[in-house]
Structure 1
Amino acid sequence: MLAVALLGTVIGQLIFGRLGDRVGRRGVYGVALMLMMVGSIGCGFSMGTTRGCVLASLGFFRFLLGVGIGGDYPLSATIMSEYANKRTQGAFIAAVFSMQGFGILASSIVTMAVCKIFARIYPSLPEDPPPKHADIAWRLILMLGAVPTVITYYWRMMMPETARYTALVELNVLQAARDMERVLDVPLSQIAEDHPSPPSPPSYPLFSRQFFRRHGRDLLACSATWFLLDIVFYSSNLFQSKIYHKFLPDLDAGTVVTAFEATFEVARLQAIKACYSTIPGYFAAVFLIDRVGRVKIQAVGFALMAIVYFSIGVPYKKYWKDHTDKLFMFLYGLTFFFANCGPNTTTFIVPAELFPARFRTTCHGIAGAVGKAGAIISAVGFLMASHSQDDHQNEDKKASKMRVILIILGGICVVGMAVTMLFVRETVGRSLEENENEDEDEDESAQGKCFS
């Protein structure tokens, strides 16, 4: 169940990434949103006469939801990059990605609200069998995820195709100018000549020898850094259940806590983390991305994440497992701040800037899919680690394994920093056409500058 949505995301990134270049960004943008809508609602309507049937149905709709989310990655990043200019390009894409932080906070608030309402209407004790109203509660929480997609669907459908795609892929400069007229609300005469000359047709296909010679290193760098980041980032998210239990009521001590109350506390801790680390990290990235540059932010973010993981991992067995839980929680939250102010944001931005317009969503989808493959590895690793930390093990063994895991995550961050510094190409202050590295003559260069 942990990995099925991530598997859907991988498939969605690959399929919608390719469709975004073949059919158009706008043409498939709404389809991805529809899949997210159907997946969210379907999760709530997971049906069956047995627990296994319900979980199978839930798994199917989570997979469908993952496909929609995966499609949204390359399309959202590319559309924003193609609408922005080179001076604010990074900040605009980072601002789009930063909404993920508010989504995390909103999901926590929704969960807390539903739990509070149901707890007051249907009080129950922990030893009671799972009541029907608890079954309704988790379904409602999942279905409410469809609300933002419904709200944004109309505006997505009203967006014109990006001018860069229309001009550089469809080779229709006049239509691109008309679309820009709608977006910018300026006369057509100020955008293009009456009879603009069409751009040159594509010179080489995807995955050709020339493609790999020009863009192979960039594709490898984007994919590798995203892969390393997602191993660490998703491991940290999945291990929250191991960390949060220290702050929850101790049922073994005889504390009476309902399922709603326990879930409320988990959501509350998630909201606190979102407010002091996740959201500030995203905003810091928006502020710094065009001032400092992508490579520096990504490398420093990996480095600071490694320092924090080593700081909480090396002394974990002798210190953190018994003392200063709040300080540990604060440092743990810093890993999300440095990730969001660093590689979690930049790995989303850079693939949308480096590649030619006719390959842009495809390459972004490939890089994202490789990243989510790392997330699947972390999910499987988390499952294995959870099973290896059985109740019969003493606390010292559990602490030793957690220590090793945190140190490994720090080591992966060091590798991510090295790959970033050695292979990732800086894109700050450059237009998309300059980053393509294809302007071999003055005519192509002039066509590229019109979008700067």
Structure 2
Amino acid sequence: MAGDQLQVLHALDLAKTQWYHFTAIIIAGMGFFTDAYDLFCISLVTKLLGRIYYHIEGHPNPGTLPPQVAAAVNSVAFCGTLTGQLFFGWLGDKMGRKKVYGMTLLIMVICSIASGLSFSNDPKAVMITLCFFRFWLGFGIGGDYPLSATIMSEYANKKTRGAFIAAVFAMQGFGILVGGIFAIIVSSSFKAKYNVPPYVTDAIRSTPHQADYIWRIILMFGAIPAGMTYYWRMKMPETARYTALVAKNAGKAAADMARVMQVDIEAEQKKVEEISEKDSNSFGLFTKQFLRRHGLHLLGTTTTWFLLDIAFYSQNLFQKDVFSAIGWIPPAKTMSAIEEVFRIARAQTIIALCSTVPGYWFTVAFIDRMGRFKIQLMGFTMMTIFMFALAIPYNHWKEHENRIGFVVMYSLTFFFANFGPNATTFIVPAEIFPARLRSTCHGISAASGKLGAIVGAFGFLYLAQDKKKPDVGYSPGIGVKNALIVLGVVNFLGVLFTLLVPEAKGKSLEEMSGENEDDYDAVKPEDVSKVAAT
């Protein structure tokens, strides 16, 4: 393959790890830091929103967001993310990765700020405004998924490509962690300044009006890291693979990479023209050739990401309710609103610090040794085991108040999600499809994942809702056991669909996609069956 490969791409595949690799990881990774912060910080303030805007006299459960409002607030950003992944994924293949890379950050900055500016005395107006801007915030976040993954995969060498892409995605863990830490700082500051007692006899009536600023500050903070990296994103050159293989400009590709890697690279425009003339390489997304060569791969990446996000996002968004159900967080009616934010943020920060963040970096350390397939299969398997281990004896955990044991096992599900399919479902779609369809296919796979996140968010609310009192809202503990059982089944399905995902360890992007070959079947079916032995 190397003999037929463009020199600039061969140089990228064999390049030693250099400073530009780390620069690209930081620039792309800060986008994912912001993505995670913006998506998951809402879970820290949803109960606070209920305290402030839904303290309705005579309501059976005052201070709780109605089920429809809770579902909208938690899920609307995922709807925007799904749309953005499809749109920007397609646009990244049409216009180039760099041209649309800055757009996503600008949208995120503007909408993060606007999300906290929904001032009104009417709860309905506040929620509608909040949901509107969180939809468009999600739209910008959605663009970051296919573009960051594609850019990093096309910049990296084949030996450590998995670790580089995983390092970009690992910044998501720091975004979750910083979200919890920042919420702790803000809530602690308000408690100290306004001398708010942590425990009260009437929590709803004791909510200070200053609490309205807390959720706004937490949401608006997400604009800062996104704004800090905008300049550097616009300074990044277009990837050589897009410039050479899609834009057909060998001279610019060679010049850009020669400057980045500080080596001399031949342009080879004639070879680019020869490659572009190969009819076998001209198939589009909606063709029989694509279906034959990559159909099963796309099915594998979409289904595994869909199943993973059902479990991952429902766990992250509603872990506060799980902890309330087992008594790790005191009942809301005994705490002030600010104290509740503090307790929720502290619990989520502990989980992030002890299991979520380490899981991401275990993937970075081992993905180019173990391979994508093994890590994904292991992750889904362990998540299945731990979900059933939590669900089947759930009454034991709750009745005996064995909180530490429950929390440890619950934390391990986060660890193996991140040292497992949460990372690999992001990495693999950026490696196995042709350059001209790479961003689009990654966007489709990621959008399938966000569809799973929406299913998870609505599904948890439905399972946890008191069916006898639907107007009360969801009641943690009523359906937590059922939810955990369902998530165990979902993870087991993830094990099965992982068998469709090929291994990309140690191979160039062109080897995986079969690009520039006259007749290929991309990754042969037998490659998957041999994966366990590699």
Q: What secondary structure, in the 3-state scheme, does the structure 1 residue paired with 2:118 have? A: coil
Match of 1:272 among 350, 362, 366: 350
Aligned to 1:450: none
Greater shift, 409-418 or 80-89, is seen at: 409-418
Question: Is 1:10–1:67's contact at 8 Å kept on the other side of the alignment?
Answer: yes
Distance 1:50 1:400 in 2: 31
SS of structure 2 residue aligned to 1:350: helix
Partner of 1:191: 265
**Does the alignment pair 1:291 with 2:369?**
yes
Report if aligned partners of 1:35, 1:64 keep a CA contact under 8 Å in 2. Answer: yes
Offset of 1:4 from its aligned partner? 0.6
Displacement of 1:321 in angstroms is 4.3
**1:238 CA drift (Å):** 2.9
Contact 2:332 2:340 in 1 (8 A): no
Instruction: Give the counterpart of 1:55 among 108, 123, 127.
Output: 127
Aligned length: 432
- Aligned with residue 20 of structure 1, among 59, 84, 92: 92
2:213 maps to a residue whose letter is I
**Structure 2 counterpart of 1:243:** 322
Task: Determine whether 1:150 maps to 2:227.
Answer: yes
Q: State the Cα distance separating 1:358 from its structure 2 match.
A: 0.3
> How far does residue 123 in structure 1 lie from its aligned partner after superposition?
2.8
Cα distance, 1:414 vs structure 2: 1.1
TM-score of the two chains, using structure 1 as the length reference? 0.91
Query: Structure 1: where are the runs of 5+ without partners?
Result: 446-452
**1:385 is matched by which residue type in structure 2?**
L
Q: Which structure 2 residues correspond to residues 113-192 of structure 1 after superposition, within 5 A?
A: 113-124=185-196, 126-128=203-205, 130-186=207-263, 190-192=264-266
Distance (whole Å) between structure 2 residues aligned to residue 350 and residue 251 of structure 1 = 42
- The one-letter amino acid of 1:381's match is G
Tell me the distance in 1 between the aligned counterparts of 2:375 and 2:332.
43
Cα-to-partner distance string for 1:411-447 (whole Å, 9 max, x where unaligned):
11111111112x11111111100011234349xx9xx
Which of 493, 496, 514 is residue 437 of structure 1 equivalent to?
A: 514
The 1:436–1:241 alpha-carbon spacing in structure 2 relative to 1, beyond 3 Å, is: same
Give structure 1 regions of 4+ aligned residues with deviation exceeding 4 angstroms: 193-196, 389-392, 397-400
* Alignment CA distance shift 1:29-1:390 (3 Å): farther
User: In 2, are the aligned partners of 1:317 and 1:400 still within 8 Å (CA)?
Assistant: no
Which amino acid in structure 1 is aligned with residue 504 of structure 2?
T
Residue 283 of structure 2 aligns with an amino acid whose one-letter code is: Y
Corresponding residue number in structure 2 for 1:215: 294
Q: Is the 8 A contact 2:397 2:406 kept in 1?
A: no
Contact 1:232-1:409 within 8 A present in 2 as well: yes
Determine if contact 2:308/2:491 at 8 Å carries over to the other structure: yes
Any conservation in 1 of the 2:177–2:352 contact (CA below 8 Å)?
A: yes
Please state how far the C-alpha of 1:108 moved relative to its aligned partner: 0.8
Aligned to 1:70: 142
| Superposed displacement of residue 151, structure 1 | 0.8
CA distance in structure 1 between the partners assigned to 2:404 and 2:104 by the alignment: 40
Q: 1:135 to 1:401 in 2, by over 3 A?
A: closer
Shift of 1:206: 2.4
Match 1:205 to one of 284, 296, 300:
284
Quote how far apart the aligned CAs of 1:399 are: 5.5
Does residue 110 of structure 2 align to residue 38 of structure 1?
yes
Alpha-carbon distance, 1:261 to partner: 1.6
Preserved contact between residue 464 and residue 483 of structure 2 (Cα < 8 Å): no
Whole-angstrom distance in 1 between the partners of 2:196 and 2:478: 37
Partner residue, 2:5: none
Residue 306 of structure 2 corresponds to residue 232 of structure 1: no
More deviation, 20-29/175-184: 175-184
Contact 1:293–1:427 at 8 Å: present in 2 too? yes
Cα distance, 1:250 vs structure 2: 4.1
Gaps of 5+ in 2: 1-72, 198-202, 523-534
Structure 1 position 139, deviation (Å): 0.6
Q: Which stretch shifts more, 400-409 or 214-223? A: 400-409
Residue 366 of structure 1, aligned match among 437, 440, 444: 444
Distance 1:2 1:194 in 2: 51
CA RMSD, Structure 1 to Structure 2 (Å) = 2.0
Percent same amino acid at aligned positions? Answer: 51
Aligned residue for 2:272, secondary structure, equals: coil
Aligned pair in 2 of structure 1 residues 106, 400: CA closer, same or farther (>3 Å)? closer
Per-residue deviation, residues 229-274 of structure 1 (Å, max 9, x unmatched):
111111212331222222223466xx5x321121111111111111
| C-alpha contact (below 8 Å) 1:222/1:351 kept by paired residues | yes
8 Å contact 2:74–2:317 — kept in the other structure?
no
Contact 2:82 2:447 in 1 (8 A): yes
Deviation at 1:390, TM superposition (A): 7.0
Q: Which amino acid aligns with 2:117?
A: F
Distance 2:478 2:287 in 1: 49
Match of 2:408 in 1: 330
Query: How far apart, in 1, do the equivalents of 2:307 and 2:241 lie?
Result: 31
* 2:465 aligned counterpart, secondary structure: helix
Q: Is the 8 A contact 1:123 1:258 kept in 2?
A: no
Contact kept, 8 Å, 1:8 with 1:64, in 2: the verdict is: yes
- Displacement of 1:204: 1.8
- Which amino acid counterpart does residue 70 of structure 1 have in structure 2? G
